[in-house]
Structure 1
């Protein structure tokens, strides 16, 4: 018999398991991934939730309250961070897996131990936007948290979720006190922003992303607003967020994101790091823009009261000094 209840839907997914299989082999990697998911799943009943199912290298759960779901997210991230990397017979270093978590709220239909409904779909789509070791929640989840827990979250403005017309407000959980993602006051969604958006170009094709389409994901995945098909580009490679009046670029990839600003010879390397974008420049996905074989995007910020940005210069006329 089907029952309808308001629940907090929780999805967790391991990133990096593909590299683990390549390094450890199928049997060893399967054992490692299974053990990791089993250990993480124990946190669900401990935090008052119900494990719905495991999904290979991920899991789905539901919780009765927002604070229960967020507590489970924090504990799972901490558990995985403390876990040592598995041993390998190979001389290659064993890659560490990272955890992505997404939580949404709403009515779900429970049938035969499984759950269905819009909240389930939203959580699954929200997971597409989470980077390594990131936990994302929707506005309804955030609104039902105690104020001291809310201060651990950073507002990411509105996100366009795949298959949905209306954008969703999303918040990112800071990993620990003192981390560079921690905030004490959240921005108001209606605050005035200096940056209107960004113009990105790859292979001569420009794409305009205004702030109502932020954040924008860069990568090979279907959820990415800026799709870049290249072997060195991760499924979700990088993200551009609107933070106050600035655009922030965050690397989410395996091979790194590299930034060169117009008129500057220096290349900034981001490996799970962030930087503020300004003016114009180039983004190398998976390698330096100095390497002609790397997938390199041109970017140009769009600001209030700016005239329309000039067309991107041809690849034969790069911005940096020779």
Structure 2
């Protein structure tokens, strides 16, 4: 039977399983990954959604109501942070140690349901949007945001329009910030949820008090210890070509190229995004740790700020000791 339905499509993916298989072996890693995917699926079902299919280390689900999908995404992140008792010792130990990172992406629109599977533009957009999600991030399209109450919308921060693989037109994307319990303070902490005016104009990078502003025409930009790098970071903990920043689809995409990894922390967010050969979208302002997390004043840490047309330049951050 074929049906055309208006649904919110959710894709969830667990990253880090390859390293687990190498470290723990097939049996133990399979138990952990299967348990973690099970926890994510339980959040879908409890939230009133339907798991369409599992996809190795993740799943695809659909929800009739957008608010229920967002609540389920919240529950997924909480469940992996604090697995419930009885979820399995291997799963609890592995997730608690940060071995697996969750990425979630959602889109809203018409889907075609055929033989318990779903197809359509919303499915394609959500699947491809997942490629742009960082560790423990939830990204949604503007159609998802439109289906929420104003108080719920304040939990989202507008990113730039992203060019998704296979699509001619860029898609406006929003990032879910904070847990549901933090909703009351979201409006002042994270700002408005409407799209920010103006296209990104440049990226400001500050390294040990030296400021450089890179226009979009100067990308891709390589960060590294090599003198030939576009932004040379002279520190032994930094690889010769440590990371790359691309201007792609109306957004700055940061990609780690190193063995020691890169670490991104956005302003107003204590969480540190760990990237090992992974990517994330740079938005607003924050810090990038090359080889070590931000926090140590002696560490190779760059401060970044996305500058936009039509906006007054944000005031510089206070100097740190």
Give the Cα–Cα distance (whole angstroms) in 1 for the partners of residues 55 and 129 of structure 2: 16
Q: Which runs of 4+ in 1 moved over 6 A?
A: 205-208, 301-304
The aligned residue for residue 81 of structure 1 is 81
The aligned residue for residue 193 of structure 2 is 186
Give the Cα–Cα distance (whole angstroms) in 2 for the partners of residues 130 and 124 of structure 1: 11
Check whether the contact 1:20–1:94 (CA below 8 A) recurs between aligned residues: no
Alpha-carbon spacing, 1:68–1:268, altered in 2? closer, same or farther (3 Å)? same
1:128 is aligned to 2:131: yes
Alpha-carbon spacing, 1:19–1:117, altered in 2? closer, same or farther (3 Å)? same
Check whether the contact 1:100–1:135 (CA below 8 A) recurs between aligned residues: yes
Higher percent of residues as helix? 2
Give the Cα–Cα distance (whole angstroms) in 1 for the partners of residues 246 and 24 of structure 2: 40
Give the Cα–Cα distance (whole angstroms) in 2 for the partners of residues 174 and 138 of structure 1: 14
Give the Cα–Cα distance (whole angstroms) in 2 for the partners of residues 100 and 160 of structure 1: 18
Aligned 1:211-250 pairs, distance under 5 A:
213-219=250-256, 228=257, 234-241=276-283, 243=284, 248=286
Q: Give the aligned CA root-mean-square deviation in angstroms.
A: 3.6
Alpha-carbon spacing, 1:238–1:118, altered in 2? closer, same or farther (3 Å)? closer
**Unaligned stretches of 5+ residues in structure 1:** 220-227, 260-264, 270-274, 279-300, 305-322
Question: Which whole-Å deviations, capped at 9, do the CAs of 1:58-107 have from their partners, x for residues lacking one?
Answer: 0100000110110100011111111299659xxxx965211100000111
TM-score, normalising length: structure 1: 0.67
Give the Cα–Cα distance (whole angstroms) in 2 for the partners of residues 212 and 125 of structure 1: 13
Give the Cα–Cα distance (whole angstroms) in 1 for the partners of residues 307 and 106 of structure 2: 32
SS in 2 for 1:6: strand
Give the Cα–Cα distance (whole angstroms) in 2 for the partners of residues 45 and 208 of structure 1: 38
TM-score, normalising length: structure 2: 0.67
Give the Cα–Cα distance (whole angstroms) in 1 for the partners of residues 288 and 119 of structure 2: 33
Give the Cα–Cα distance (whole angstroms) in 2 for the partners of residues 152 and 208 of structure 1: 27
SS in 2 for 1:19: helix
Check whether the contact 2:200–2:307 (CA below 8 A) recurs between aligned residues: no
1:147 is aligned to 2:150: yes
Give the Cα–Cα distance (whole angstroms) in 1 for the partners of residues 19 and 141 of structure 2: 30
Count of aligned pairs: 254
Shift of 1:28: 0.8
Alpha-carbon spacing, 1:258–1:238, altered in 2? closer, same or farther (3 Å)? farther
The aligned residue for residue 96 of structure 1 is 99
Give the Cα–Cα distance (whole angstroms) in 1 for the partners of residues 193 and 101 of structure 2: 26
